[in-house]
Every structure is written in structure tokens, then in C-alpha cells.
Amino acid sequence: MVCADISGKMLAATRKRLGDDGVRYVKLGDGFCILNQMNVLSERGWARFLRELDKNLMGRHGTAFSVMTDGIMQRFLDHLGYEVIEKDTTSIPRDCVWVVRAPADNG
């Protein structure tokens, strides 16, 4: 598996969780990126969450729909110093798509 991100902090957090066995980490250049995150509060997101409730109640499962909302992602991006250029909750009915600019010093 290859984990790629523009944030060294994000890669470090991922490495701490996944380790190095069978995983390669690549830090991408600074600049803009597009993020697509599921939104459990959308109608389709909530329906999928309920279908996978047994997996979600027992902790995060690799294939389960995680509990993520645009509000949680906004807090996460703010905390990491990303500038939100665009937030789109309508193009993909279940998801939220973000265009963000990485902080100048992103680790």
C-alpha cells in the first residue's frame, strides 16, 4: 500500500497507526488538493451507516462507513492549518468534496 499526503504530520500519524510492514509513505508537494470524504449526515450516508451498524458499533471496521461529517472535517482542516477554497456537499449526494490549500509549513 502507498500512503500519500501533502502533510508530513498526517503521514506520521498514519505511520503510527499502520506501521511500516507492506506500507510505503510518500510526502507530496505543497499546494492545492482535493479531498472527498463521506458525510454520514447526508441522506445516503446515513442509510449506509445504518446498513453497516453492526460493524460500526463494534469499532471501526476496514470496510465500514466511518462516522465523518463536513463539520468534523472542517475542524480537522482548521486544526491542521489548511485553507478551504471550496466545499461542495451537492455534487456527490453522499459525500463532501473539498478543495483546500496546504499550509506553507505542513511538516
Instruction: Kindly state the cell numbers that stand for 51.
Output: 446498513
Helix (H, G, I), strand (E, B) or coil at 34: strand
pLDDT of residue 12: 93
Can you give the pLDDT at residue 28? 78
Q: What is the DSSP letter of 94?
A: T
Q: How far is CA 25 from CA 10, 43, 50, 96, in A?
A: 10, 34, 33, 25
What local confidence, expressed as pLDDT, does residue 58 receive? 67
- What confidence score (pLDDT) does residue 98 get? 92
Domain ranges of the chain: 1-29, 31-107
Per-10-residue mean pLDDT, the chain, length 107: 82 92 84 86 91 74 75 93 92 91 70
Cell readout for 52 is 453497516
